[in-house]
Structure 1
Amino acid sequence: MIFDCKMGQNTLEELLDKENIRELVEFERYCRDYEHWDQMRACYHDDATVCTSWTTAKIDDFVEGSKKRAGIPPRHKIFNTLVWLNGNRACAECIAVIQIRCELDGDLVDMTTHTRIHFRLEKRDGVWKILHLGGVYEKDTMHSAYANGSFTTAPEDLAPYRPSYANMMYRQIKYGGHPNPDMIGEDRPETVAAMYAESSEFLGL
């Protein structure tokens, strides 16, 4: 399994690979946040795929879809990044929160989603690029940006949605979106286990 990869025992070449991977995935999220679309696209192989709450798509379609959603940009705050390496393949995971400030129900609202952003990467012709982006949703919150704000949600408002990203689903639907109800989340542990099993197979472990 992926968690059996040796950690803290890297050769110099492995350290260089891991640092390149770490910089690449963090830069990709930076480009997404600040709308550097060409630079974001350059982080991916041409056959890459992306799976988020609002789309599952090939990389070019994801970039175009992201451009259309640029009016309410997310901000990915990354706390740390882990890298598992096996030859020319790797997985990386950013422990992060996604922050969005937007207008909702006549108020200014802050939403925070706790997530593990999970990447699969491959080194081709000596260059690391992303082959797949997905992730694990853990929990989220949403509240007015003002101490005396009017926005609130009751348990029954969020009850129809997945516990690991209920607020995100609620907000997307309010904005006319169609969030994927079957994302990987901690409220469905079997989906998390399947993701790590698939990544382990990808790494050849």
Structure 2
Amino acid sequence: MSRSVLPLPDASVERELFAIVRRERLSRDTGDFDTLGSLYWPDSVVRVTWFEGTIAEFIEVSRDQAQRGRGRGLHVINPIRCEVNNDRAIVESQGEIHIRPRIGDVFCDVVSWCRFFSRLERRDGQWRMQTFDSIYCKDRIDTVDPAATLTLDPKKLESARASYRHLTYLNLSAGYTVPADLPGDDSPQLLAAFYNEAKVWLHQ
């Protein structure tokens, strides 16, 4: 679908949008859920490997995880692309997800390289996020102790998509259902459809 190329956004708008997406990840990492909620519109949707639902549901699950000492991670985010059309915008960021779970009796570092992708809307002069997605590139698992031995279920590992294989393994082991249709570099068709849907939304 052919679309006109949008001009570069105003620098002040770009700074504001980049600040919102950076603060959103920091709020999630630090358990600042009041701030996290204030950065989204109530009808927003969050979709990642272990969750899909509204921002209110995401915060509720995240609070529960934090209280049980689970779900803590570190997100590295570097916003790199911003497109604005009137009161709608998309921001794409280079991203990393760092988690330190225990798999069996072995502490591990799980790292996912991805691109965080958000749609934002301006309502009554205020920008907030409308969606949050991750576009998955690749991931890996390493033992924290180099001398430790980690044994993974090869069938479970091979059944997962290449772009988020180890995240899938970790989440399946924790009892989560992981969708197979998330956008990722290993599936050009899914990724093209994802980008096209976002572009159509931006130009509406």
Do they superpose with TM above 0.5?
Answer: yes
Alignment of 1:49-68 (within 5 A): 49-68=45-64
4+ residue segments displaced more than 4 Å:
154-157
Q: TM-score, normalised by structure 2?
A: 0.91
Q: Which residue of 2 aligns with 1:6?
A: 7
Amino acid at match of 1:136: I
**Contact 1:44/1:59, CA 8 A, preserved across alignment:** yes
Matches for 1:88-103 after TM superposition, within 5 Å = 88-103=87-102
RMSD: 1.8
- 1:147 match: secondary structure: coil
- 5+ residue gaps in structure 1? none
CA distance in 1, matches of 2:24, 2:88: 18
Structure 2's unaligned 5+ residue stretches are none
Identity of aligned residues (%): 26
Corresponding residue to 1:39 among 35, 41, 44: 35
Distance (Å, rounded) in 2 between the aligned partners of 1:133 and 1:156: 30
Contact 2:108 2:144 (C-alpha < 8 Å) held by counterparts: yes
* Number of residue pairs aligned between Structure 1 and Structure 2: 200
One-letter amino acid matched to 1:23 = A
1:15 equivalent among 11, 20, 30: 11
**2:21 alignment counterpart:** 25
- Between the aligned partners of 1:73 and 1:111, the Cα distance in structure 2 is 12
Task: Please report how far the alpha carbon of residue 157 of structure 1 lies from its aligned counterpart in structure 2 after TM superposition.
Answer: 4.8
Q: SS state of the match for residue 164, structure 1?
A: helix
CA contact (8 A) 1:143 1:152 kept: no
Select the structure with the greater relative contact order (CA < 8 A; seq sep ≥ 6).
1
TM-score by length of 1: 0.91
8 A Cα contact 2:181 2:190, kept in partner: no
> What is the 5 A alignment of 1:99-118?
99-118=98-117
Higher deviation after alignment, 33-42 or 157-166: 157-166
User: How far 1:2 sits from its partner (Å)?
Assistant: 7.5
Alignment of 1:182 onto 2:181: yes
Q: CA deviation at 1:80?
A: 3.7
Counterparts of 1:29 and 1:125, CA distance in 2: 24
SS of equivalent residue, structure 1 residue 117: strand
Query: Could you say if the C-alpha distance between residues 17 and 80 of structure 1 is closer, same or farther in structure 2, counting changes exceeding 3 Å?
Result: closer
Letter aligned with residue 148 of structure 1: A
Aligned mates of 1:105, 1:3 — CA distance in 2? 52
